[in-house]
Chain A
Amino acid sequence: MPWELTSDRPIYIQLVEHIKFDIMSGRYKPGGKIEPVRELAIKASVNPNTMQKAMTVLEQSGLIYSNRTSGRFITDDQELIDSLKTSVAEAYCRDFIAKIRQLGYSNDEIKDNLNNYLE
């Protein structure tokens, strides 16, 4: 199944996000191997050059490193992954709070609703 990609942003950026998500969610284990570019490109149904671009960005961010002989691996720097998770989570929260405030809830009401929902 090709990956879900929207049409208004460069594809390579969306690929970066998709892979980042797989790293954060644990689908790719820290220190584990990631498929070669061609394979991933075929899986995602995208141009291999585009996938390569995404890989380059990920390598620059330190989330992925490549070993010339044995392929590409996820970083085992758990701190890096965690900080990525945190910033993504923070962005989700910011987004959620902005939206829910539009409905007119106060901070306390928000907290109560959340607690009730989580139970």
Chain B
Amino acid sequence: MAPLLECRTLTKKYGNTLALNNVSFTLEKGRIVGLLGPNASGKTTLIKLINGLLTPTSGEVLINGMRPGIESKLSVAYLPDTMFLNDWMNVKQLINYYSDFYSNFDVDKAYDMLKRLNLDEKMRVKAMSKGTKEKVQLILTMSRDADLYCLDEPIGGVDPASRDYILSTILNNYNENGSILISTHLISDVEQILDDVLMIRFGCLYIHKTVDEIREEKHMSVDELFREVFRC
């Protein structure tokens, strides 16, 4: 049984810049994993490689034992840290779009979550506030029944109440048959929902442990460890 996600000596270069350097790890299903590192440490590069939006310079990334392709795109749900939706679409059209292309998209769940945000189904993305847009993107992504969710900075630049909303949405959609990979630099906010931690430093995988291991071995929280590791 192939692991859910496996990276083997994964390397990505942009010209002369080494964005990811020889990264190797495996991820099993049923885990919530934090991909932690400062800005430009390679987190987004790793997530894009998993989603086939970038191709490795060397090494490989395997999802359920396969290279990124049509099958993996069905089982991996990606939430970028930018706006990626069509401005002119409204809520109803977005849901139709997603359910058209993703057979495992839960339409009822999506409508339910969006209604709870008091969003009219005719509201266009263009008319939404930044915070609302981010929540809509999250809801659409989490309404897919995927094996692996890659959330790139889901709580960056968001007010504390929205942060709670986003974290509880993530927890609510967690299922033991899948895993969630959360890339963030706001560690103290997500630490308590994480199982495992992947700390990336200058494109290299620096630490790969569970949150409990870190707390037990180092007697500090992951957040404190991060501050120590990345002290300027």
**Cβ B195 vs Cβ A42 within 8 A:** no
Q: How far is the CB of B201 from chain A (nearest CB, A)?
A: 21
A7 in contact with B191 given A48-B174, A49-B31 (CB within 8 Å)? yes
| A20 vs B167: C-alpha distance when bound (angstroms) | 25
**Cβ B220 vs Cβ A49 within 8 A:** no
Does A81 touch B at the CB level, under 8 Å? no
* Cβ contact of B192, chosen from A2, A8, A38, A53, cutoff 8 A: A2
Q: How far is the CB of B196 from chain A (nearest CB, A)?
A: 10
| A8 vs B219: C-alpha distance when bound (angstroms) | 5
**Cβ B220 vs Cβ A45 within 8 A:** no
Q: How far is the CB of B132 from chain A (nearest CB, A)?
A: 22
**Cβ A46 vs Cβ B195 within 8 A:** no
| A10 vs B214: C-alpha distance when bound (angstroms) | 8
**Cβ A11 vs Cβ B168 within 8 A:** no
A7 in contact with B188 given A46-B193, A48-B171, A48-B174 (CB within 8 Å)? yes
**Cβ A11 vs Cβ B164 within 8 A:** no
Q: How far is the CB of B183 from chain A (nearest CB, A)?
A: 17
A12 in contact with B212 given A7-B191, A49-B30 (CB within 8 Å)? yes
Q: How many of A's residues come within 8 Å of B, CB to CB?
A: 19
| A46 vs B221: C-alpha distance when bound (angstroms) | 14
**Cβ A7 vs Cβ B224 within 8 A:** yes
| A12 vs B32: C-alpha distance when bound (angstroms) | 15
Pair count A-B, CB < 8 A: 59
Does B211 touch A at the CB level, under 8 Å? yes
When distances are taken between beta carbons in the complex, the residues of chain B under 8 Å from A12 are 212
Q: How far is the CB of A99 from chain B (nearest CB, A)?
A: 23
Does B194 touch A at the CB level, under 8 Å? yes
| A20 vs B219: C-alpha distance when bound (angstroms) | 23
Q: How far is the CB of A64 from chain B (nearest CB, A)?
A: 20
When distances are taken between beta carbons in the complex, the residues of chain A under 8 Å from B193 are 45-47
- Who on chain B is nearest to A49 by CB? B195
**Cβ B30 vs Cβ A5 within 8 A:** no
Q: How far is the CB of A81 from chain B (nearest CB, A)?
A: 27
- Residues 101-146 of B contacting A (Cβ, < 8 Å): none
| A10 vs B192: C-alpha distance when bound (angstroms) | 10
**Cβ B192 vs Cβ A46 within 8 A:** yes
**Cβ A42 vs Cβ B172 within 8 A:** yes
One digit per residue, 1 when the CB lies within 8 angstroms of any chain A CB and 0 when it does not, for chain B 167-191 equals: 1100110101000000000001001
| A7 vs B227: C-alpha distance when bound (angstroms) | 13
Q: List 29 A-B contacts (CB under 8 A).
A: A2-B164, A2-B192, A5-B192, A7-B215, A7-B221, A7-B224, A8-B215, A8-B220, A8-B224, A9-B215, A10-B212, A11-B211, A11-B215, A12-B212, A38-B174, A41-B171, A42-B168, A45-B164, A45-B167, A45-B168, A45-B192, A47-B32, A47-B193, A47-B211, A48-B174, A48-B176, A49-B195, A50-B211, A50-B212
Residue numbers of A with Cβ under 8 A of B are 2, 5, 7-12, 38, 41-42, 44-50, 53
